[in-house]
Amino acid sequence: MATQWCHGCQVNHIPPLITSDGKLVTSTSGIKDILLEYFFPTVPTPIPPCHPDNPPTHAPWTFADITKEEISLNLAKKSNTSAPGLIGIGYKLLKWCHFTSPSHLTTLFCAAITLGHHPWHNTKVVPIPKLNKADYRIAKTYRPISLLECCGKLLKKIVAKCILLDANCY
């Protein structure tokens, strides 16, 4: 089964995993708990909001409005087969939406920037087995990947380009 995963076949289950005390777990909820415990520790380290060596604050940076052309240019480079996030809206649907009415995505992205709110913050995390491992019953032989919403990935790409252009200029 692990070889099917490696060769591009989709497999909808994970083989039994071994717990830290050596027990074999076959139930879906048990496997979920093992992967959750391994990849997402329960007690995060607290970070204080202020540090004595913080630099002085600056005026907020203002972004130029996102244009229809920026969205078109970035959408043209995206694959229609990219895995969508929880909502299930892929790049093919976004391309169709932007072609049909370019003002909708432009207005949505400009509003997200103006309000300082990223509306696509949920993600779906999927465990993928690492290649050429001897024992796929151990949690560390998997790596988590996150399937982000395509709208959010597109907005992040546009904002990242704006930041890089500003960094080059200044």
The 10s digit of each residue's pLDDT in 72-83 is: 999 998 988 887
pLDDT tens for residues 129-164? 888 888 888 888 888 888 888 899 999 999 999 889
Per-residue model confidence (pLDDT) at position 50: 87
Q: Is the pTM of this model over 0.85?
A: no
Please give the average per-residue pLDDT across 16-30, as a whole number: 86
Reported confidence tier of residue 3, pLDDT bands at 50, 70, 90: very low
Reported confidence tier of residue 11, pLDDT bands at 50, 70, 90: low
Q: Map residue 166 onto helix, strand or coil.
A: helix
Query: How far is Cα 29 from Cα 86, in angstroms, rounded to an integer?
Result: 20
Query: How far is Cα 120 from Cα 149, in angstroms, rounded to an integer?
Result: 6
Per-residue model confidence (pLDDT) at position 86: 82
φ, ψ at 6 (rounded to 5°): -65, -25
Question: Which residue type occupies 139?
Answer: A
Reported confidence tier of residue 35, pLDDT bands at 50, 70, 90: confident
Query: How far is Cα 147 from Cα 160, in angstroms, rounded to an integer?
Result: 19
Per-residue model confidence (pLDDT) at position 9: 55
Please give the average per-residue pLDDT across 36-41, as a whole number: 82
